[in-house]
Each structure stands twice: as C-alpha cells, then as structure tokens.
Amino acid sequence: MTDMAIPPAITGLCEPVDVSGHRNNTAISAATETKAGGFNVWGNSFAAEYLPAGGSLVEVAGVPFRFPPVCHGPDNVRCDGQFLALPEGRYDWVHLLTAAERRCEDVAELHYADGSVDAEPLRVSDFWAAPSWFGEIKAFETPVMHYPHHVQRGVPAVMWAQRVPVTRRAELTGVRLPRNIAVHVFAVTLQRSGA
C-alpha cells in the first residue's frame, strides 16, 4: 500500500481512517485469478482491472478515500459487528466506500467520549448494477463481474459512496459496524465539523 500524503486542498475537513486491521474479506480479483474473490456465497468479485490502484488516494464527490490493497489479500471489512476506533473528534459525517449483496438497511452504532451511543441508519444499495436505492453516489462501476471460473461480461458491479450522519455534538471515538455480512466496507473517511 502506498503511503501518500493527502493534499490539504482535497481533504479540507476530511480524514481517511485506517481500517486495515479489520479487513476480513477479498471482494476484488484480477481476471487471471477470479477464484481469489469471494464477495458473496457464489464467489463473485469486482474486476480489479477497472478499479483504482491499491493504496491510492481517490476522490468521490469531493471526499478523499484511501483505496484498499488490490489483489494482495483482504480488501474490505465484511461487517460482523467490528468496532472501528476513530481519532477522537467532532465530526459531521462518516463517509464509506461500500457495497452490499442485494440492498441492505441496517444500523451503525456511533460511540462518544462521554459514553453515549447513537444508532444511525446504514443503507447500502445492491452491488449488482442497479440504480441507487438510498441516494448514495456511485463511486466505481466495473463493466464485468468475476465469477470463480470466468469473467462475466455485461454484468456490471457497483461500489457506492454512502455516509452516516453524526448528529450528536460530542467527541466521537468509534463506530460499531452492523452484524450483517451482506454489507462490505472498503474505506472510511471522517468529515470534521466545520463549526
């Protein structure tokens, strides 16, 4: 993974979060190694050839994300109740690069320094190419989908840019992801409060 400084002009109030210690699934594969991917129970995966380079800084709708490693082990967090410790601070949004097997509606728990916990909705549209159901922004789309034994042309796969609001005006310290293995998180960026 590249250790690249994040240009201040791009970041503004945004701070990508290191989620490398929580990656537990491989959902991106090369056309020569389609068996390496396992986004869902059928072994589908995103085509690496159409996605950003692993470790690169990517911008989606003005939000910078650190793209995960590609074709070098786990590249996403398949949600199973993991707790992501965050740099303590006041934030307005938790931005996610995410995808889901079918569309999913669940809850992320936001943990604060004062001990309070808020349940906020996490809604993610289908990774099978379909319109955004919950108003997310399409971050990346591959024109093909990988199956364990072949590359399926004409079946696109979509990665979404979604966000979770931080409504409490208090110091956020962490996020508990839902227990829903249909939801996958590829990258997380925090947007600091402007006030």
Tens digit of pLDDT for each residue in 138-181?
A: 999 999 888 888 887 978 899 999 999 999 999 999 999 999 99
pTM of structure:
0.89
Q: Tens digit of pLDDT for each residue in 64-106?
A: 999 999 888 899 999 999 999 999 999 999 999 999 988 888 9
Question: For residue 5, is it within any domain?
Answer: no
Are the beta carbons of 167 and 116 closer than 8 angstroms?
A: no
Q: Is residue 86 part of a domain?
A: yes
CATH of the domain at 27: 2.60.120
pLDDT at 5: 46
In a domain, 32, yes or no: yes
| C-alpha to C-alpha distance for 21 and 91, rounded to whole angstroms | 22
CA dihedral 90, 124, 153, 142 (to 10 degrees): -10
Q: Domain of 145?
A: 13-192
Q: How many domains does the chain fold into?
A: 1
Q: Tokens 């939801």: give the residue.
A: 183
What pLDDT is attached to residue 195?
54
How many CB atoms neighbour CB 164 within 10 A?
20
Q: Judge whether 3 lies within some domain.
A: no
Asked if pLDDT for residue 9 goes beyond 50, the answer is no
Reply yes or no on whether the pLDDT at 3 is more than 80.
no
In angstroms, what CA-CA distances link 16 with 13, 31, 53, 165, 183? 10, 29, 16, 16, 20
Question: Would you say residue 109 lies in a domain?
Answer: yes
Radius of gyration of the chain (CA): 16
**Mean pLDDT value of segment 4-18:** 65
Instruction: Give the tokens for residue 60.
Output: 């989606």
In contact, 161 and 96? CB cutoff 8 Å: yes
Distance CA 174, CA 163 (A): 15
Residue 77 lies in a domain: yes
Better pLDDT: 194 or 10: 194
Can you say how many angstroms the Cα of residue 187 is from the centroid of all Cα atoms in its chain? 4
